[in-house]
Chain A
């Protein structure tokens, strides 16, 4: 197996707030291989976006990374220790260089008073040694590539002149024009209609193949996950609770939370099936439950509820590299 493009090891991230230190990400480890699409799923407040932003050191000033946390980016045999990059100059490699990001709300991600074209050219001038004329050609070519009609004319327009789907395409074009190794897509289709969502997903799949880059795909929509990614990581309250290939996680979920998410989805092939919500709400990160973080909402713990309340489950892997952090799963293997 080739070495991963990016390895996140024991990432723990806290925010300093007036109420004390809030743990947003707790001991999270995962790898992304070159050309792989990893999906990160979870409810709002589970820490998906914060985890992704850590890869680009984009978290707010009040964030504190734990000392043992490590994020390693490998580019052509060179290893970069991401969390040690302190100066903006050094951070250029992870901000738009080797890593690019597209955001959920494309209207809020473009500057409203600068043309789309100027914004695309600006970052190319920073990240490469192109001349402005070359940068313009490359930008227009990228706009063509993502399927924007009349790209030369669109190049000179502002974000408000684009429709939602077009804006997200332009965002993708902009993120990809510097040829990043890793694209972080934070809920890229959530604000779009299903028909436009289908177009954008199709486009992203094509681009992965063409540019051979990796994607970290953040979403709360398991349908989108099933259609898009190679591997899935499920997050709950800052912890990874399950990681595996998309088939392992969707077809045979090992964690009660993953099962809960799947059971609460309406299924088109069985309209009569009842929707079973995960009971309760996600607890406040200020008040993290002891033991297994999910025990306050778990309906399956039953006989071992005591154990779940007190002991933190170990993140274990089965033979097929399907990882889960749950006492039930480890118990099943022992018996």
Chain B
């Protein structure tokens, strides 16, 4: 493992056992299965997939908020190295300072009974980062200014704010403990396009200024493409393709990525109906299809895909894919 990697998952699986129905084996939701990724320091790492693909679970596992069933996640910055699977007690508290989460819905994420100042100050007090009220206030003001909230705003309650402003409050709260790693889970999905652009610009400028590493989870590939420098595509609990953004777009090698790309509605009214349609819907993670998990919806699926699990392999530098026919498909997509 190179020194530039902040957090990495090796053969990571997250399973949620369900209640037994009658006799037989206990059913298990395989939310994440055999995931291998490395997130480099200071990168804006995008994770994209449909609902039910396990992207949120993966994000939570990296914050140690979902159980790690198999495999391991390693976090290492300049000071410390943690194995998240065995992390507990004081070390876990320490990790909570370093890794933060920004939620999807800014209306649900903020307590309606707390002022904005208290919302932003809470992590400082809970984690014991600041020692006096004056120090806390100063820190809150500094972070608020960074997120373009003014002093007047700090005295108000969340209901007085619009969606975009609330999301900026959520971001301020995540930033206040000086984290090294932030998971932004669908952080712009609930916002209007002009507000979305504003929040994305804010996240980008924070990233450039402070060098925080972001795991940016979204279902919207065009937002990911615009914001992230590295993208991983998830389908039914597995990562099917991961590459630097420009490579993923110019050398698409997995048919699912291809389908996601072509499903984005084009802004050009004269380019209509070019979407390569994907039939059906994502199968249940309780009983995933054998072989390649995408075989039930893949337009290129062959006999081999139904029986043999494709290997996670490196096609070119930094570009990983899990598909038996990537070389052929990449050539075909290219034309």
Contacts and interface: CB of A to CB of B under 8 A. Distances in A.
Interface in B64-123: none
Contacts of B266: 223, 226-227
Contacts of B209: none
A93 interface: no
Number of chain B interface residues as a range = 35 or more
A262 B196 CA distance: 12
Nearest to A245: B269
A119 B219 CA distance: 32
Interface in B255-282: 259-261, 263-270, 272-273, 275, 277-278, 281-282
Given A164-B51, A220-B193, A275-B200, A226 B268 contact: yes
Interface stretch (A101-109, A176-184, A196-204): A196-204
Interface stretch (B135-143, B221-229, B305-313): B221-229
A266 B223 contact: yes
Interface residues of A, number: 44
A264 B269 contact: no
A261 B194 contact: yes
B208 interface: no
Interface in A224-250: 224, 226-228, 246-247, 250
Contacts, number: 124
B267 A277 contact: no
Given A165-B281, A226-B267, A275-B201, A195 B260 contact: yes
A10 interface: no
A186 to B, nearest CB: 16
Contact of B197 (A164, A196, A221, A276): A276
Per DSSP, chain A at the interface is helix
Nearest to B221: A194
B241 to A, nearest CB: 15
Contacts of B51: 164, 193
A163 interface: yes
Interface of B: 50-51, 162-165, 192-198, 200-201, 219-223, 225-227, 245-246, 249, 259-261, 263-270, 272-273, 275, 277-278, 281-282
Given A223-B222, A250-B268, 5 more contacts: A43-B195, A228-B265, A266-B197, A271-B249, A282-B162
Interface of A: 43-44, 163-166, 193-199, 201-202, 220-224, 226-228, 246-247, 250-251, 260-268, 271, 274-278, 281-282
Q: 6 shortest A-B CB distances, which residue pairs?
A: A223-B265, A264-B197, A266-B226, A275-B197, A277-B197, A278-B194
